[in-house]
Chain A
Amino acid sequence: MNRNTIDLWVGIFVAIGIAAILFLALKVGNLVAFGNTPGYHLEAAFENIGGLKLRAPVKAAGVVVGRVERIRFDPSTYQAIVTVKIDEGNQFTADTIASILTSGLLGEVYVGLDVGGDTKMLRDGERISKTQSAVVLEKLIGQFLFDRAAAGSGK
């Protein structure tokens, strides 16, 4: 086997191998561009984040405008503090409501932003004051049963 032929085939092999990895990374996975996309950070406190995970999308009007960057527990307020990164160019009012929602029944959990009417805009590092926690199914059922029992005894 000629040495040049071998080099050629090895080169082709390595090239398509790397192309496959790139394909997987870009088309199959969610690797965006290399380097950080410009943006700013906001914080929000929730009673319960439900199934929210890191890198979950942040959507406003159904459009992805950012990602969840950090989730931590605040031992003093017993709340979950979620840090999100919002893409540059998207401004939100100071009275924006951040809710934890699920897309569809089995879908992923994301943070939804509903804008208010305030003239002031949130700046980098500020906290979203109005939040709505995730709906936890067990609590919902418990609430339902309790309401039913209360309605039944009240008759």
Chain B
Amino acid sequence: MPSAVQSGVAHSLRRLGRFATFHVERLGYAARFFVAVIGNTPAAFRRLHLTLREIYFSGVLSLIIILISGLFVGMVLALQGFDVLQRYGADQSLGVLVALSLVRELGPVVAGLLFASRAGSAITAEIGLMKATEQLAAMEMMAVDPLARVVAPRFWGGVVSMPLLAALFSTLGVFGAYIVGVRLIGIDAGAFWGNMQSAVDFRQDIVNGIIKSAVFGVAVSLIAVFEGYDAKPTAEGVSSATTRTVVLSSLAILALDFVLTVFMFRGVS
């Protein structure tokens, strides 16, 4: 091979190697960061008002979008579900379809995606801006650990908010489906609720759904605080960190959803 091609190939390999090592290093750094954040949990709960404040900003302020989205998703599920089910004469099972879809999958996943875009990006931007305006450095120089005071409360605020938001999403979804299915389309209310109740198992479906949303909460919150803390302290740095949070969180949610679903629902046929 001519030496020009050789050096071209070598150059690409080197670039690939550097790319891989950079990301593996970053992953290791993120893992250490995660351990440090968890380690600061007692500090976060000692300053309970800070954590409550973060639950407010992550959870309460996301309520509107979660509740409205849940309602609409439930209503659409009912419309589409009815259309398909009635071809097999199974329209009495609409409640079952909607409830299982929401509780097992759509509740945790869609609420998680919405949470990542609304609250996750806000957390990243906030921490990134604090870094850019030297507020985090100032805190360090004042002998206050920013992990304890800024990062950990935001992490736990997200983790606590997520399962609650997912449950609210599913609830509004079921309610929306009820409105469309029973009130608008005319399915029997007794059949709707009755079939649903016998098909949805508490431990199998609801608890698993809650576990899923808790796992998503941890993933999204961790990604959000890490990207914020690690952002380059410039305008572009903060903006790309925010984008990365939304993208990574969304991918993480979908990937974790697959893994968790395999483990949780493989016995159910």
Partner-B contacts on A (CB < 8 A): 1, 3, 6-7, 9-10, 12-14, 16-18, 20-21, 23-25, 27-31, 55, 57, 106, 108
Contacts and interface: CB of A to CB of B under 8 A. Distances in A.
Contacts of A21: 163-164, 167, 206, 210
Nearest to A11: B52
Contacts of B163: 17, 21
Nearest to B107: A24
Nearest to A21: B167
Interface string B57-91: 00110010000000000000000000000001010
Interface residues of B, number: 34
B145 to A, nearest CB: 23
Interface in B137-196: 160-161, 163-165, 167-168, 170-171, 174, 193, 196
B141 to A, nearest CB: 27
Nearest to A106: B90
**Which of B53, B60, B165, B210 has the largest number of chain A CB atoms within 10 A?**
B60
Contacts of A108: 198-199
> Which secondary structure characterizes the binding site on chain B?
helix
A25 B196 CA distance: 11
B202 A30 contact: yes
Contacts of A28: 99, 103, 170, 174, 196-197, 200, 206
B193 A27 contact: yes
Contacts of B164: 13-14, 16-18, 20-21
A25 B198 contact: no
A83 B183 CA distance: 41
Given A28-B174, A28-B206, A31-B202, A13 B59 contact: yes
Interface in B24-76: 49, 52-53, 55-56, 59-60, 63
